[in-house]
Chains A and B, each alone.
Chain A
Amino acid sequence: MTEASTPLEKQRSSAAAATKRGRRTAAGQGFGRPSVTWALPGILFFGLFAIVPMALAVYLSFCSWDGLTSPTPVGLDNWTRLFKDPEFRQAGWLSLLLTVISWAFQTPIALMLGVWAAGRQRNRAVLSAIFFVPLLLSTTAIAVLFHSLLDPNFGVIKEIGPWFGIDPNILGSSTGALLTVAFVGGWQFMPFHTLIYQGGTRQIPQVLYQAASIDGAGPVRQFFSITLPQLRNTITTSSVLMIVGSLTYFDTVLIMTKGGPGTDTTIVPYLMYRTGFQSYDLGYASAIATALVVVATALSLLMVKFSGFGSMRSTREGM
């Protein structure tokens, strides 16, 4: 729409706006619609550094490339290899296991802490502030910290482990190492999911609880009949983020276990890193990366489909 340029036109359009109050959008069309070109720099930038690389990853998955010479197309070689590769199968299995363990570990605790923290008592606010601290540390800092805490000779695990019947050399045992990686991830991201649940709980209409108490429902009954069903969408949001987070888990594994002992914590992203940047088999690494994106996206779309994206957004309200 053109700007009103002469005083007369300005007057006319303001009169028009005044009479068309009811049809606001129709009148409002004339005012200050920015040009679409304003969005171009952002779109181009994002395209260059995110969309193009994503497309390039798919292309490279059909190539052989050592990082020095230029990539040469090899057709489906990487993909047929991927489906037969026992290492990839193991990595996929470990990633799945890590995802399930992380979910089962984090969800009940985050749900409990979130519902608890939704209360507005003063001590809860103080405790919540402390709960939040792990989220301030980078993944790297946390992995370095736990690596030294879990040192079997000098770490705190040598004192505390025996109290709970834990072998101090937990990072040296195959199941122990995977469980540790899941625990460290939980330690870091618990506050994040707690906040999501806290936000969700605070949105539950108070009326429901009042009605339930009139009907004589106790706190436990209220939790299972009101809080939990009302948090359905929040649970989906948190679960999607957990699943995608666990599938793309990398820093902690590189720093704490280097995929070991043996290959017992070599989850898919770490296998990709090792294949690409240690064996310089970058074509095959791209196939692994592409497979990872497909699985992660499919899983989250599947979960979102059950709840709808709109509800995913609405859970953020109130945080």
Chain B
Amino acid sequence: MTGVSAQLNTARTVRGTRRRRPKGNPLVGLGALAWLVIVLVPLYTLLSSSLTRQDQALSGNPLALPTDPTLENYNTVLSSGFFTLLINTAVVAVATVAIVLALSVPLAYVAVRTRSRLSSMAFRTFLLGVAIPAQAVVVPLYLLIAEMGLYDSLAAVILPTAAFSMPVAVLVLTSTLRDISEELYEAMGLDGATPLRMLWQLAVPMSRAGISTVAIFSALQAWNGFLFPLILTQSEEQRVLTLGLFNFMGQFGLNVPALLAAVVLSVIPIFTVYLFARRALVNGLMGVGGK
């Protein structure tokens, strides 16, 4: 732990000296433009196909602008149970964030504020947890969830999703909590504040950035998760968005425009967040150097 914080400190001093990069060379700029095309062509086709009539989609050139744009595909999707998917996914996301925050904040606080062996052992276990891929545990999770009588419920998706967001959450939170100086705790201690009040009135307000990163990270894990819902739910009533998209593939068959309209609709909520809180979303997406 001390090694990590020492590294963080050197990184911080180095960061202070950074300034503008030298001008790049034109070849690299050209490469960047090429990648831009590779990114944009699928996105453009996604939008334009979702606005094309089904009969025209099968015959026409998918690269051409839709001559007669229509929203009927969106109607098809919205009347195929899309709202159930949306509500289920929102429930899963909100519950996941709530659980992750409620459990990780005190845990990270203890890891930073106590020097006991137990807390540093717990912290190291969480570091290891970053390395456990979800694929590795789906079989036993299936057993566990079935034994708990939770199979085919939203809780079956929420609980493991929250657990697997926790390692990154704890790492992000400990690194923000470490930045709060000891003097502030001392000052509060002199005023007779209890540890709980220090957490609530000092640590939480001062680590708002870390908390929002964690909230967005775990919301995205829940929103985009596919494997847990695939294995742990079955019925239409408990279906989330990602699984719904997968299902639409079979259901809509050759109605590609409707399928792509569903893809667009599934992205809109996250895209909206991106437009209004870009910085927070990027941090949330990256987690700790990712994951």
What is A's interface to B at a CB cutoff of 8 Å?
A: 3-4, 10, 13-14, 17, 24-25, 27-28, 30-36, 38-39, 41-43, 45-46, 48-54, 56-57, 60, 67, 109, 112-113, 115-120, 127, 129-141, 144-149, 151, 154-156, 158-160, 187, 190, 192, 195-196, 201-207, 209, 213, 219-220, 222, 237, 241, 244, 247-248, 250-251, 254-255, 269, 272-273, 276-277, 282, 285-286, 289-290, 292-293, 296-297, 300, 308-319
Contact = CB atoms under 8 A, between A and B. Distances in A.
Contacts of A116: 24, 28-29, 31-32
B139 A313 contact: no
A254 to B, nearest CB: 8
A187 B36 CA distance: 11
Contacts of B271: 136
Interface residues of B, number: 127
Contact of B39 (A33, A119, A134, A254): A134
A114 B33 CA distance: 13
Contacts of A52: 140, 144
A67 B21 CA distance: 58
30 contacts: A31-B186, A31-B188, A31-B189, A38-B109, A41-B103, A43-B125, A49-B159, A50-B132, A53-B137, A109-B35, A115-B28, A116-B32, A120-B21, A127-B32, A138-B224, A141-B267, A144-B246, A145-B263, A149-B62, A154-B57, A154-B256, A158-B62, A160-B63, A202-B18, A203-B14, A205-B17, A205-B18, A220-B25, A248-B133, A254-B230
A112 B135 contact: no
Contacts, number: 353
A140 B18 contact: no
B49 to A, nearest CB: 8
A118 B21 contact: yes
Interface string B78-115: 00000000000000000000010011101101110110
Contacts of A27: 186
Contacts of B49: 148
Nearest to B181: A24
A30 to B, nearest CB: 7
Contacts of B36: 127, 130-131
Contacts of A33: 113-114, 195
Interface in B231-250: 231, 241-243, 245-246, 248-249
Interface string B176-204: 00000011011011101111101100000
Contact of A196 (B99, B106, B290): B290
A286 B163 contact: no
A313 B3 CA distance: 10
B215 interface: no
Nearest to A57: B140
B194 A32 contact: yes
A66 to B, nearest CB: 12
Nearest to A58: B140
B61 interface: yes
Contacts of B139: 57, 60, 276, 282, 285-286, 289
Given A4-B192, A138-B223, A156-B41, A313 B256 contact: no
A42 B166 contact: yes
A195 B249 contact: no
B282 A46 contact: no
B136 A57 contact: yes
A112 B176 CA distance: 30
Nearest to B256: A148
B7 interface: yes
Contact of A31 (B32, B126, B143, B185): B185
Contact of A39 (B58, B119, B182): B119
A163 to B, nearest CB: 11
A219 B25 contact: yes
| A13, A277, A310 interface centre (most CB from chain B within 10 Å) | A310
Contact of A56 (B140, B182, B188): B140
Nearest to B229: A140
Given A56-B137, A159-B63, A241-B290, 15 more contacts: A34-B195, A36-B119, A43-B125, A50-B163, A135-B285, A138-B267, A154-B58, A156-B41, A192-B290, A196-B290, A203-B11, A289-B137, A310-B3, A313-B175, A314-B8
A34 B106 contact: yes
Contacts of A148: 49, 256, 259-260
B22 A272 contact: no
